Amino acid sequence: MGQEQSQTRTSPSSSTPGEFDLIERFFKRRSVDHPNSGIALGIGDDCALINPSNHQQIAISTDMLVEGRHFLAGADPYLLGRKCLAVNLSDLAAMGASPLGFTLAIAMPEVKVDWLESFSNGLWDMANEHDCQLIGGDTTAGPLTISITIFGQVPKDQSLSRNKAQVGDDIWVSHEVGDARLSLGALRQEWSLSTEEFTEVSQRMHNPTPRTELGQSLLGIAHAAIDISDGLLGDLSHILRQSSVSADILIDQAPGSKILNGKSIELQRLCKLTGGDDYELCFTAAKEKSAQIKELASRLGLALTKIGSITERTEKLVRLIDGHDQELSSSLSEQYLKSFDHFK
């Protein structure tokens, strides 16, 4: 969209908007409430221009969502618009970067004006909430696919990253984990939930909250961080491997919602430890930072829970410890770890 040199595609009928009409109508005419000062030039030229502040590095991340694989056919377009930007904002948060702008490439089998109206409303709402401007992109015909590349900035050499966890660090998780998995299991009929429960927990799957402010606030406090997209244990394992350390996880300390905490301990563990799509942050920080982290939690009004600690690298990447301070049997541990390739 910023790159308007891409060829105009002819409308199949006079009532169906062509590519430039789409851009004008849904993606260009609207601007965010407070234009991001880091964007020197947005949509409308061959390229967008970004002005990073002094002593900042540009953080870049891309996520692609494909219908039928990452979201169900017929997904609510408003929530889809929100989510496809939220997952990218979540990656910036995991580095402690603040959002600048994003590009959007979208393939659609056919132009559906109502769908685009809702989708772009969701996208713009999320963009406004996080001061992140749409600065370019492209549209084409094809199976419904949404690809966003996001740009942020972070003070030079201060970003959080996966390879900075240190032995002795505490491991923390924001808010609650497991509701997205709880709702997915109900959809797949692995277990059942009441209508009220399902409505509430499925919000977590369809409308995740990127922890933008938390990520930025953790600069100078946390060592390593990652956003939980594939599951707490699976994502934590990236930190452990890249930092060459192991971890003890107090599995029953993992924070869950009231609904999830009302389920059996087995179901809670499965959802909290292995469920993806929560987009909370998991981070490590020196023990001495505990008080600062608790203050941060109260300032942000966001629960931050200690769930374990980083240990010297041993053969076992993770030891799972139950509420009685006992390590889970290897068969039980296996059950939670086997879903992740990284543990094999």
Q: By the criterion CB under 5 A, which residues form the site for Mg ion?
A: 91, 227
The answer to whether 307 touches 249, Cβ cutoff 8 Å, is yes
Residue 61 Cβ vs Mg ion, minimum distance, rounded to whole Å: 7
The answer to whether 89 touches 150, Cβ cutoff 8 Å, is yes
User: What is the b/e burial string over 218-240, where b = at least 16 CB atoms within 10 angstroms of the residue's CB?
Assistant: bbebbbbbbbbbbbbbbbbbbbb
* CB nearer to Mg ion: pick between 2 and 152: 152
Q: How many Cα neighbours within 13 Å face the side chain of 310?
A: 30
* CB nearer to Mg ion: pick between 159 and 268: 159
* CB nearer to Mg ion: pick between 2 and 96: 96
Residue 226 Cβ vs Mg ion, minimum distance, rounded to whole Å: 6
* CB nearer to Mg ion: pick between 91 and 277: 91
Residue 145 Cβ vs Mg ion, minimum distance, rounded to whole Å: 19
* CB nearer to Mg ion: pick between 91 and 280: 91
* CB nearer to Mg ion: pick between 106 and 228: 228
Residue 160 Cβ vs Mg ion, minimum distance, rounded to whole Å: 12
Residue 87 Cβ vs Mg ion, minimum distance, rounded to whole Å: 8
Instruction: Compute the distance between CA of residue 181 and CA of residue 271 in angstroms, rounded to an integer.
Output: 5
Residue 165 Cβ vs Mg ion, minimum distance, rounded to whole Å: 16
Residue 94 Cβ vs Mg ion, minimum distance, rounded to whole Å: 5
* CB nearer to Mg ion: pick between 91 and 170: 91
* CB nearer to Mg ion: pick between 91 and 169: 91
